[in-house]
Structure formats: C-alpha cells, structure tokens
Amino acid sequence: MAKVELTPSAETQVDALPRLVRLRVLNVVLRLERWPDVSGAKPLRGPLAGHFRIRTGDYRIQFHVVGDTVVIEKAGHRDKFYEE
C-alpha cells in the first residue's frame, strides 16, 4: 500500500471543486493507495516526464511517486488542466 499526500495547492484545488466531483476525486485517492496496481494512470511526457495523470470524468489529477508515497500535485477540469 502506498501513502497518498496532497500538496497544499492540490488541497486548495480539490476543496474548490463541486461537491460531487470532490467525492469522485477522493475515490481516486483511495485507488492510488494501491499504487502501482492502479488502472487508468497514464505517464506524462515532455517537461512532465516522471509524472502521471489519472482522470475521473472531465477532471484530471496529476501526481508523481516518491518511494512508497504518491504525491498529488494538481487537480482540475480538463479544459485548463495542462496550461501553466
């Protein structure tokens, strides 16, 4: 089992999501505890190589893995998710 942590900015982003979407994101967090046996996680490329994303509906969650810890860095709607 992996430990899942949210960065402070990711925590703020999750708190700002609509209630039902927030519940879906929390279900993804529970799934990420089983890392690396998680379906649907895709590796990112380019400058984000080494990071992954997983989706729930129109929302994306970006994370990376450090040892036995999954660090969630970003959560948001797909429209503006990949913009810096």
pLDDT tens digits along 3-38: 999 999 999 999 999 999 999 999 999 999 999 999
Sheet holding 42-43, edge to edge: 3-6, 69-77, 59-66, 51-56, 42-43
Domains of the chain, by residue range, sit at: 3-81
CB of 13 within 8 A of CB of 76? yes
Query: How far apart (Å, rounded) are the C-alpha atoms in residues 68 and 4?
Result: 9
Strand-pair partners of 79: none
Q: How far apart are the first and last CA of the chain?
A: 31
pTM of the model: 0.92
Confidence band (pLDDT; 50, 70, 90) for 83?
A: confident
Residue with tokens 């900015």: 9
- Say whether domain 3-81 belongs to CATH 2.40.50.140: no
pLDDT at 80: 85
